[in-house]
Amino acid sequence: MGLEQRILAAAALVALVFLGAAPAPAQKKKPTDPSECPYCHGDPAKMKAAGIVSHGPFPFGKSDTTKVDGFLVTSEIRWIETDFFRFGFGLREYKIKPEEKKKYVAELTRLKLVLPDVKPDTGVLDPWLRLHLFAQRGNDILDKFLTIINGKDVQFADGSGKWAKGSYTGEGPYLGMKDKYEWLVTSTEAAHTAFLTEHFGLQLKVGHREHNIARGVLGYYCNSMEGQLREDPALFGNLAFNLTHNFLDGLQHYNYDTPVWFHEGFAHWMERDINPKYNTFDSGEGGIADMTRTKDWKPDVLKLIAANDAPHVAEMMGLKSYAEFKLPHHFTTWSMIDFLIKTQPENFGKFVWAMKANLDAKGMPTGANLPDYFRIKFKEHFGFNYPEFEEAWRTWAKVAYLPGTPKGSDPDAPSGPGNLPGAPPGGR
């Protein structure tokens, strides 16, 4: 080896020594690392007080949060698991508008009871705060659903697959489902579509509810590029709308489909109780829903009634999918559910349970003769056949929806803090 070659070799060796001795750059923590959370700090005591089981990893979709993070590598998803939910939140901060301030102060004041570092008067919701706030909101939505159906004290199945005859309560403890309800919101259509394609073989740009049979999970997956979902109140209402659908399907386990008109109307009612400014509309897979940005639906309902154009219940019972829905269906189903909840709240809850209790001779759920079963149960619980119900609804709406209606009869009147009754922060 010549002198020049020996000098170059020595220089290379020195460079390798220095490179080997150089400290490796600090690896950036994932956004879901609970120690990075400025509110619970990954502290087990604080997390338990707030009803938080973990910030991951945990099962999700058809794999788990670690694999989702690895697949959606450009998405910063923060994860949270409560006693009932598993949520993935991939959005950035949200600046609170002046007109929204009062509602957020109320929500954040409740959250501060279990997470002392929360500042209720903040003007900006950072991603971690939004994650914790949506965990609280999920529990609020569940609490309201259970209150309406009088189901807070019901003991669901333990997952053993054993029941006494006539006492079927589903396949697991989560309203009857085996595993927890889940939700993922991503910041882009691309990430949303990639997730749905990878996990469920679906190439959709819009929100999707999925029954993951293998895990016994009902999930909802969406992205902030849809409609008005960049607005935090709209996202809250959208979650309420879709969780209501999933709760109705999951109650006593998802064994058969219940009437789509009832589903859509109840989901509209829950969403509009939060904020009637933002509304979600279901459509068929790949289809475009009939939608409106109208805040006040009462005048539209009255117009349909006056023109005798409101869809009949018998007709809506024949609807097989949300692709068949037009705006008159949405207005009518919301108003009919509004009528039933306001005039027969106890019977409404009983009817929901009855819808999910079509059992065979062995006491097991069956999808046999569902149209007749629903018709009989409707009459049994509300005291109306379908035409009688429509007449009673029309008579009520003509009074309840007139301008100047007393607040107690106003379907848009708030029913509690944030328009949802205050469930204990962090859990039931």
What pLDDT sits at residue 161?
A: 81
Looking at the domain assignment, is residue 57 inside a domain?
A: yes
Looking at the domain assignment, is residue 5 inside a domain?
A: no
pLDDT for 186 beyond 70: yes
Distance, CA of 124 to chain centre: 23
Q: How confident is the model at residue 31 (pLDDT cuts 50, 70, 90)?
A: low
What pLDDT sits at residue 286?
A: 57
Tokens of 377: 């149960």
Q: Quote the radius of gyration of the chain (alpha carbons, Å).
A: 25
Looking at the domain assignment, is residue 21 inside a domain?
A: no
Q: How confident is the model at residue 162 (pLDDT cuts 50, 70, 90)?
A: confident
Q: Which residues pair with 95 in a beta bridge?
A: 124
pLDDT for 204 beyond 80: yes
Q: How confident is the model at residue 285 (pLDDT cuts 50, 70, 90)?
A: low
CA distances from residue 254 to 59, 163, 171, 210 in whole angstroms, order as listed: 20, 17, 9, 11
Residue at 241: amino acid letter: F
What pLDDT sits at residue 24?
A: 41
Dist. CA 184–CA 164, nearest whole Å = 37
Closest CA to 386 of 328, 321, 316: 316
Q: For residue 53, what are the domain limits?
A: 34-419
Looking at the domain assignment, is residue 233 inside a domain?
A: yes
Looking at the domain assignment, is residue 426 inside a domain?
A: no
Q: Which of 15-19, 80-84, 210-214, 307-311 has the lowest mean pLDDT?
A: 15-19
What pLDDT sits at residue 404?
A: 75
Dist. CA 399–CA 298, nearest whole Å = 11
DSSP state of 29: P
Q: How confident is the model at residue 27 (pLDDT cuts 50, 70, 90)?
A: very low
Looking at the domain assignment, is residue 28 inside a domain?
A: no
The string of pLDDT tens digits covering residues 222-246 is: 999 999 999 999 999 999 999 999 9
What pLDDT sits at residue 32?
A: 64
Looking at the domain assignment, is residue 326 inside a domain?
A: yes
What pLDDT sits at residue 119?
A: 98
What pLDDT sits at residue 365?
A: 93
Looking at the domain assignment, is residue 424 inside a domain?
A: no
DSSP state of 257: P
Predicted structure pTM score: 0.88
Q: How confident is the model at residue 167 (pLDDT cuts 50, 70, 90)?
A: confident
Q: Are the CB atoms for 189 and 225 separated by under 8 Å?
A: yes
Q: How confident is the model at residue 74 (pLDDT cuts 50, 70, 90)?
A: very high
The values of phi and psi at residue 50, to 5°, are -90, 5
Q: Burial level of 64, CB count in 10 A (0-12/13-18/19+)?
A: middle
What pLDDT sits at residue 160?
A: 86
What pLDDT sits at residue 199?
A: 98
Name the average pLDDT for the chain: 88
CA distances from residue 69 to 41, 197, 219, 259 in whole angstroms, order as listed: 21, 15, 18, 37
Q: How confident is the model at residue 288 (pLDDT cuts 50, 70, 90)?
A: low
Percent of the chain residues topping a pLDDT of 90: 79
Dist. CA 396–CA 99, nearest whole Å = 33
Q: How confident is the model at residue 163 (pLDDT cuts 50, 70, 90)?
A: confident
Four-CA torsion 188, 90, 57, 159, nearest 10 degrees:
-80
More confident residue, 158 or 341: 341
What pLDDT sits at residue 33?
A: 76
Query: How many structural domains compose the chain?
Result: 1
Q: How confident is the model at residue 206 (pLDDT cuts 50, 70, 90)?
A: very high
More confident residue, 169 or 416: 169
DSSP code per residue over 185-252: EESSHHHHHHHHHHHHS---SS-EEEEETTTTEEEEEEETTSTTTTSHHHHHHHHHHHHHHHHHHHTT
Closest CA to 66 of 52, 84, 79: 79
What would the mean pLDDT of 273-299 be, rounded to a whole number? 86
